Amino acid sequence: MKHFALIAALALLASCKQEPKEPSVAETLESYTIAQMMDNESVGGGSFSPDNSKLLVHSNRSGIYNVYAVSTADGTWMPVTESDSSSAFAISYFPKDERKLFRMDNNGDEIWHIYLMEEDGTSRDLTPDAGARAWFARWTQDKSGFFFTSNKRDNRFEDLYLMDAETLIPTLVYQNDDGYDLQAISHDQKWLALSKAINTNDSDLFLLNMETADLIQVNENQSANSAEDFSLDNTGLYYTTDDGAEFAYLMRFDLNNGTREKVLEREWDIMGSSFTDNGKYQVTYINEDAKNTIEVVEVATGEALELPAMEGMEITSVGFSQDETAMRFFAGGSHTPSNLYVYDLESKEMTQLSDVLNPEINPAHLVKASVVRFPSFDGVEIPAIYYRPHQASAENPAPALVWVHGGPGGQSRQNFNSFLQYLVNHGYAVLAVNNRGSSGYGKTFYQMDDRNHGDKDLKDCVAGKDWLATQEEIDGEKIGILGGSYGGYMVMAALTYAPEEFDVGVNLFGVTNWVRTLRSIPPWWASFKDALYQELGDPYSADSVRLKAISPLFHTDKVTKPLIVLQGSQDPRVLQVESDEIVAGVRANGVPVEYVLFEDEGHGFVKKENQIEAYSQVLNFLDSYLKEEQAAPIRDDAMEQPEMEEGEAAEGQ
């Protein structure tokens, strides 16, 4: 009996033993190089060939963006362009043959041209006018040609042209002498939807009868209005408006009797809505708390099309074949770059056509961001997207960064960002603050920073820093600020007007002199100039005093914290002189300043070799001045300060 009792006791003891504990992600976390992180591929586009056998896409797999044809059967990729300088982006297959359209500018100068790639592989510029910008609009309903806009006649305004698909000869359809924004044309080419900006929040929407020249105003009250699509039977215009509401909803304007009808409303902004080629489906995009929600409805029945379920990911974009039997889509998330898929609507078969995550990266080591909210100085609730490093804990608190998006009026979204993931992987928490003035949170919130830039919007960023400092996994004594364009302005505003709040600044091509910027917007922004002046201030009026006061360039003596500035010399929106001068001004203080300039980049860095250079320099800087660790030396050529020369600022930031 004792023998059996001993066996039972041993069995009980064994059953109580715990299984070996699986190591946590923090314990197995690898530290990836910037070359590894930027080797994640970025894919976009997705026009179906006439027989649905291929998709026309662009990808940066070659180091810059080039155009590819991808087999929908097996995912084979075939190069269409092989540029080694300027990036090329896919537009569309021709509807009746396999000729292709793509667009290119010159190293980021944003002077876009439309190119044709013949079936034999030869290509040519269809819009060769020097200095003129061209933009593809859409194919005609009968597929005999495509509409595009160009400012070749008057560089201030975009005219509408029709390019014949056979002769490739353009015809002027609408001469835009009054500075309208061209938004949509009906399928019978009778109606043209035109928009006129009142300010950066509101715009009037008009319908021009191309036969009678009558102009009809669509909106009844001052509000934000945008044409989305015409019905295929040419009886209605679908448009979004926030008239009488915080968020944009979808309306239909009857072209026969002028009546208006609300079609769709959600708790967030409806960003866009359009019909597929033959009108079988209506696709609507909703900006739901900084991520895309997509609704596809079968028009005849009103029933929602069930989209494929993507575990751990969300569908961010869809497109349909001409015969409406196939759908391509992208799916990803803040923790994973978006892959391309094709979906057979009849068989429900789904095929993955890309594998964009670098195989050297363990997906578990990437961080899924979370949406957080915190009160600002005046009680206004500020939304933000929080990336918490796996290795951060109360025992191992991490340094942190407040990230500020571009704009004004932009929004940080729940999308994958290799640069931010690189910083997080190396132990930096990131809080992407959607300060007041950001889009996506209602028109009241959007208008809160009008003529108040560098003040309350900056205080929202400081409140984000204060929120970070209360998190147990954050080292509250090591918090910096970084951002690009308007976000770069906010970095300089923080270091200038709140010099003790942040420990370092990372300025990516940020505005530093609002007076010069607003006086020097390029001619093709003429239709938007008055609206921009309404939000920011008129630089030719008494507002110039306030604009100078909020321009960091004139207050560099207040900067005391280390700064790194990154700039593309081809940038048409924030000219190189903006960065040249701020670097010189801060250096005069004896403050550590690093400057990285790229001769072949524009507003943002798209070439992989430049991204690797730029973001590795940022990490070195942060390790030296925020973590206060010894980092690799900055290369002399990257630090070289270019000669300063006066220039004109371009497009609104």
Query: In 3D, which of 101, 59, 51, 108 has the Cα closest to residue 82?
Result: 59
The dihedral built from the CA positions of residue 116, 122, 125 and 126, taken in this order, carries a sign that is: negative
Strand, coil or helix: what is 42?
coil
What local confidence, expressed as pLDDT, does residue 219 receive?
97
Going by their DSSP bridges, the two strands 398-404 and 474-484 should be labelled as parallel
Q: What is the pLDDT of residue 243?
A: 98
Side-chain-side CA neighbours of 359 within 13 Å: the count stands at 2
Alpha-carbon distance of 175 to 153, in angstroms, equals 9
Per-residue pLDDT, averaged over 115-122, amounts to 97
pLDDT above 50 (res 281):
yes
- Report pLDDT digits (tens) over 549-607: 999 999 999 999 999 999 999 988 888 999 999 999 999 999 999 999 999 999 999 99
Given a cut of 50, whether residue 11 has pLDDT beyond it is no
Among the ranges given (37-51, 220-234, 372-386, 542-556), the one the predictor scored with the smallest mean pLDDT: 542-556
Q: pLDDT at position 20, please?
A: 61
Q: In what order do the strands lie in the sheet with 54-59?
A: 43-48, 54-59, 66-71, 77-79
CATH fold for the domain made of 367-511+556-639: Rossmann fold (3.40.50)
Say if CB 634 and CB 617 are below 8 A apart: yes
Q: Please report the pLDDT score of residue 16 as a whole number.
A: 44
Q: What is the mean pLDDT of residues 119-146?
A: 97
Query: Which of 613, 593, 617 shows the shortest CA–CA distance to 605?
Result: 613
In the chain, what are the domain boundaries?
A: 367-511+556-639
| Count of C-beta atoms within a 10 Å radius of residue 524 | 20
Structure tokens at 42: 């970025």
Instruction: Please give the single-letter amino acid code of residue 303.
Output: E
Model confidence at 14: pLDDT above 70 = no
Check residue 648 and give its pLDDT.
27
**Per-residue pLDDT at 651 exceeds 60:** no
Mean pLDDT of all residues in 52-60: 98
End-to-end alpha carbon distance in the chain: 86
CB count, 10 Å around CB of 87? 22
Q: Is 11 exposed, middle or buried (0-12, 13-18, 19+ CB in 10 A)?
A: exposed
What pLDDT shows up at residue 595? 97
Report the share of the chain in percent with pLDDT over 90. Answer: 84
Mean pLDDT to the nearest integer, 235-252: 98
pLDDT above 70: percentage of residues in the chain: 93
> Contact, 606 vs 60, CB < 8 A?
yes
Say what the pLDDT of residue 19 is.
59
Averaged pLDDT for residues 506-515: 94
pLDDT in tens, 150-186: 999 999 999 999 999 999 999 999 999 999 999 999 9
What pLDDT is attached to residue 516? 86
Amino acid letter for position 649: A
Q: How confident is the model at residue 517 (pLDDT cuts 50, 70, 90)?
A: confident
Instruction: Give mean pLDDT, residues 231-242.
Output: 97
- Range of weakest confidence among 198-202, 383-387, 409-413: 198-202
How far is CA 316 from its chain centroid? Answer: 13
pLDDT at 640 over 60: no
CB 216 within 8 A of CB 231: no
Q: Could you tell me the pLDDT band of residue 538, with boundaries at 50, 70 and 90?
A: confident
Distances in Å between the Cα of 59 and the Cα atoms of 67, 79, 288, 386, 500 are 7, 10, 27, 28, 42
CB-CB neighbours of 580 under 10 Å:
23
Pairing of strands 100-104, 113-117: antiparallel
CB 553 within 8 A of CB 585: yes
Contacts of 177 (CB under 8 A, 6+ apart): 154, 157
Measured CA to CA, the distance from residue 333 to residue 396 in angstroms comes to: 27
Position 649 pLDDT exceeds 60: no
pTM, full prediction: 0.91
Average pLDDT, the chain: 91
Q: How far apart are CA 231 and CA 187, in angstroms?
A: 8
On whether the CB atoms of residues 48 and 93 are closer than 8 A, the answer is yes
The first and second tokens of residue 635, run together, are 């290369």
DSSP string spanning 613-635? HHHHHHHHHHHHHTS----PPPP
How far is Cα 416 from Cα 543, in angstroms, rounded to an integer? 39
CB atoms inside a 10 Å sphere around CB 522: 18
Element (H, E) at 419: helix 418-425
The H or E element spanning position 256 is: none
Residue 117 has pLDDT above 60, yes or no: yes
* Backbone dihedral angles phi then psi of residue 25, each to the nearest 5 degrees: -60, -40
Contact 341, 326 (CB under 8 A): no
Q: Residue 442 CA to chain centroid, in angstroms?
A: 19
Q: Is the dihedral angle over the CA atoms 374, 380, 381, 386 positive or is it negative?
A: negative
Judged against a pLDDT cut of 60, whether residue 636 lies above it is answered with no
3-state secondary structure of 108: coil
Amino acid at 65: Y
Q: Which two tokens stand for residue 452?
A: 């108040």
What number of helices (H) and strands (E) belong to the chain? 13, 35
CA 170-174-180 angle, to 5 degrees, is 130
What pLDDT was estimated at residue 75?
A: 96
